[in-house]
């Protein structure tokens, strides 16, 4: 089984932000044949390599396989999709040069609907999903800061784990990533939304604050818990058996993160479009399909839509 994951096994990273650079960098640091699709940071990474920094590790991958097109990379055995969901419409054109008959697609993206998107375009049998419970920021070209230990869960799209699911998880483990196999990928997607919906949203809505500031504010803390409860209740209406205690588990985990700035806040500060549909919009659509409502989430989603539109308009004006 493990023989597939020799250095000759080709891996492509599509989306070289914090998530792509971290997981791709960990694999590359252990000698795996990893190829990064990069556009803006190509020259810097070719010169200086990739760096991963935290309290417990300081990794430098000096020689990195960096490419500006997927055609340069060519067919791979595993494609890790780590682009923002706002770029999903680019994937049907980007991914085909990376595919051979048995290429696996592992999406590490946030929110709901990403596996379905890949399955619709490339076939469900290729698709796996990864849940990244980790705090990362890309602080400079090719430089990633990790703020907590985190873990990665790997699961199959709409089916139970397969031998390949365990192979991929073990390969991450061998390269220093805390990883495990999840039996129900949809369940874990909803579990992650318990955190993503309130903390990513409120960090922007409250004026650009980190998660420690959210927890320190009584009103925001109560709003966070109310949003978490809505997600859990809606998941149950959709047949997803989340537990009420999952909210408290997420709060306890968050209290250990310190002054971490979620990815949505960083995107907003940089004038980039927010992942509105995958995280907030799709959740509301699934709630509606199940015949239930999420009034707090509806309010948050509408506010984020307005802020996102204003932010993108400012960015357009400043760049013109």
Query: Can you tell me which residue has the tokens 């959740």?
Result: 283
Closest by Cα among 163, 144, 145 to 154: 163
β-pair partners for 81:
14, 107
Q: Is 320 helix (H, G, I), strand (E, B) or coil?
A: coil
Q: Are strands 50-53 and 58-61 parallel, antiparallel or unpaired?
A: antiparallel
Where do the DSSP E strands lie in the chain?
10-14, 33-37, 50-53, 58-61, 65-67, 78-81, 104-107, 127-133, 136-140, 143-146, 151-156, 179-181
- The verdict on whether 192 is a catalytic residue reads yes
Catalytic site residue from 26, 84, 192, 261? 192
Structure tokens that stand for 4 in this block: 């597939």
DSSP 10-66: EEEEE--SHHHHHHHHHHHHTT-EEEEE-STTHHHHHHH-EEEE-SS-EEEE-S-EE
What residues are annotated to the active site?
192
């Amino acid at each position: 089984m493990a023989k597939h994951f020799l250095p000759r096994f080709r891996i492509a990273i599509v989306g070289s932000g914090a998530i792509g650079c971290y997981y791709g960098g960990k694999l590359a640091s252990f000698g795996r044949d990893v190829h990064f699709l990069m556009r803006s940071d190509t020259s810097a990474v070719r010169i200086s390599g990739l760096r991963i920094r935290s309290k417990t590790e300081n990794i430098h991958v000096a020689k990195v396989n960096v490419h500006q097109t997927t055609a340069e990379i060519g067919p791979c055995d595993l494609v890790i999709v780590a682009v923002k969901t706002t770029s999903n419409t680019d994937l049907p054109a980007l991914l085909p040069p990376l595919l051979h008959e048995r290429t696996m697609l592992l999406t590490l993206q946030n929110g709901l609907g990403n596996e379905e998107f890949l399955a619709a375009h490339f076939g469900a049998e290729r698709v796996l999903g990864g849940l990244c419970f980790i705090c990362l920021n890309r602080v400079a070209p090719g430089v990633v800061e990790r703020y907590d230990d985190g873990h990665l869960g790997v699961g199959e799209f709409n089916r139970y784990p397969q031998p390949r699911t365990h192979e991929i998880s073990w390969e991450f483990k061998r390269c220093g990533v805390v990883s495990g196999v999840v039996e129900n990928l949809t369940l874990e997607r909803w579990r992650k939304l318990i955190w993503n919906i309130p903390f990513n949203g409120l960090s922007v809505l409250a004026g650009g604050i980190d998660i420690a500031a959210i927890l320190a504010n009584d009103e925001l803390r109560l709003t966070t818990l109310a949003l978490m409860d809505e997600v859990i209740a809606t998941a149950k209406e959709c047949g997803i058996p989340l537990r009420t205690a999952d909210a408290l588990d997420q709060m306890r985990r968050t209290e250990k993160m310190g002054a971490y700035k979620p990815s949505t806040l960083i995107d907003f500060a940089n004038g980039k479009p927010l992942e509105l549909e995958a995280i907030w919009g799709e959740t509301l659509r699934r709630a509606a399909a199940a015949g239930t409502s999420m009034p707090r989430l509806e309010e948050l989603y509408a506010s984020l839509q307005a802020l996102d539109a204003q932010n993108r308009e400012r960015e357009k004006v400043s760049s013109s």
